[in-house]
Amino acid sequence: MKSYSYINRAIIFFKTIAAGTPFLAFILLSAFLKPQSEETLQSAAPFPIGAAVNPFLLQTDSAYRRVVETEFNSITSENVLKWAAVHPAENKFDFSKGDTLAEFALSHHIRFHGHNLCWYQYNPKWLSSFKGDSAAWERLFKTHIQTVVSHYKGKVASWDVVNEAFHNDGTLRSEKNTPDNKPDDGCIWARNLGIDYIARAFQYAHEADPDALLFYNDYDQEIYPGKLRSIINMVNYFKKRGVPINGIGIQMHINILTPKDGITNAIKQLANTGLKIHIAELDISVNPRNDPNIIYSDSLQNLQSSLFAFVVQQYKLLVPKEQQYGITTWNVGDADSWIRPTYKKKDWPLLFDDSYAKKPVYYAFINALKN
Catalytic residues, by residue number, are 164, 281
Q: Are 77 and 102 in contact (CB under 8 A)?
A: no
> How many angstroms separate the CA atoms of 58 and 66, rounded?
9
For β-strands 324-329 and 49-53, DSSP reports them as: parallel
SS3 call for 81: coil
**Cβ 353 vs Cβ 333: under 8 Å:** yes
- What DSSP character marks residue 303? H
Q: Which residues pair with 283 in a beta bridge?
A: 253
Separation between Cα atoms, residue 343 and residue 287, nearest integer Å: 10
> Burial letters for 89-110: b for 16+ Cβ neighbours within 10 Å, e otherwise?
eeeeeebebbebbbebbeeeeb
Residue 220 to residue 266: CA distance in whole angstroms: 9
Measured in degrees and rounded to the nearest 5, phi and psi for residue 347 equal: -165, 160
Strand partners, 74: 50, 111
Q: Cβ-count burial of 135 within 10 angstroms (0-12 exposed, 13-18 middle, 19+ buried)?
A: exposed
CA distances from residue 214 to 6, 35, 48, 113 in whole angstroms, order as listed = 43, 39, 17, 10
> For residue 345, with 0-12 CB atoms within 10 Å meaning exposed, 13-18 middle and 19 or more buried, which class applies?
middle
**Burial (0-12, 13-18, 19+ Cβ within 10 Å), 155:** middle
Written as one letter, the residue type at 266 is: A
Q: What are phi and psi of 29, to 5 degrees?
A: -65, -40
